[in-house]
Amino acid sequence: MTCFNRIILELKRVWQDSPPLTAVTVLMIGVFAASVAGIALDPRTITGVPAWLKPAKFAISTAIFCGTMAWLFRYINIWPKFVRAMGWILAAVLVLEVAIIDIQAARGTTSHFNVGTVLDGVLFSVMGSSIAILWLASIGVLLALFRQRFEDTAWGWWLRMGMLITVLGSAAGGLMVRPTSTQLEKLQSHQPVSVVGAHTVGAPDGGPGVSGLGWSTEHGDLRIPHFFGLHGIQILPFVGWLMLRRRRYANDGRDASIAVAAGIGYIGFVAILTWQALRGISIVSLDGLTMTALVIWTAVSAGIFFLLPGNPDHAKDAFTRSTI
């Protein structure tokens, strides 16, 4: 079977899993291609980067997320009407979000944190409300995963922990909409502001950043923990898939323990990145406190892994009871 045929076959399968999420996946791939063309053809910049870079990043990120969620739905067979509704909500909200980002890019202005005009403020408010709905829908999927019974206990926990991290990573984005100290002072003194919130900590948005990503190379950047949190639903199941391929026993209970421990460790890693960003420390120049935290995190994670119970049946029984 050729690679093209495999792609078509997988598209047909995820379409059966969730038609709206699959449709948005394909749509966003096209939007991504158009945005990349915009980077090449449109010389304008917004906050120091090409005007269509942000639309391109959000389009490909949305395509990956929707494709992953459609794939994830094949493992959920409880609450079919509820899960189907969550798929429609996720798809609709994400299309609206990317559409607003593209509209603002076409207008030559920012989308997030922009309250400079009435239109900008309304669009940003709509984005904020839609993201709240997206987060609640994601929680709905997470609840379904926790209620779902899996023949392979370990695989179920890899999926659950990945989705949990994505939900937490989405919530971390709320830290960006808080007014900065400078913005707060202006608001309290009733001075006009055009921007409320920021992803850079310690300086205005738009300074030097990592090529292609834009993450600040001089200050803290809340987009970094937000990024790693959001992609937990891809990273953790992929790691789990690699590990489960090499296990000795079918449905080994110790594998379920590893999945939970890996998820907790990943949450700790995102927490360290968040703490670092909130202190205004750049990802490319880690300070002593952050390095110490990472060393401790590595040691604790390794210790937990080696101290996990070695009796597969004991661990399996414990995790099976937790899903009832």
Residue 316: the pLDDT is: 41
Residue 203: the pLDDT is: 85
Residue 253: the pLDDT is: 67
Residue 58: the pLDDT is: 93
> Torsions phi, psi of 201, nearest 5?
-110, 115
Task: Tally the domains of the chain.
Answer: 1
Residue 11: the pLDDT is: 75
Maximum C-alpha span of the chain: 67
Cβ contacts of 294 within 8 Å, gap of 6 or more: 272, 286
DSSP 8-state secondary structure symbol assigned to residue 178? S
**By the 8 A CB rule, do 102 and 108 touch?**
no
**By the 8 A CB rule, do 273 and 232 touch?**
no
What are the angstrom distances between the C-alpha of 4 and each of 7, 8, 74?
Answer: 5, 6, 22
> Torsions phi, psi of 99, nearest 5?
-60, -45
- For the chain, list residues with pLDDT below 70: 1, 247-253, 309-324
Provide the token pair at 94. Answer: 């994400």
Cβ contacts of 76 within 8 Å, gap of 6 or more: 83, 141, 144, 145, 148
Which domain does 193 fall in, by range?
A: 3-322
Considering the entire predicted model, what is its pTM?
Answer: 0.85
Is the alpha carbon torsion for 147, 159, 96, 110 positive or negative?
Answer: positive
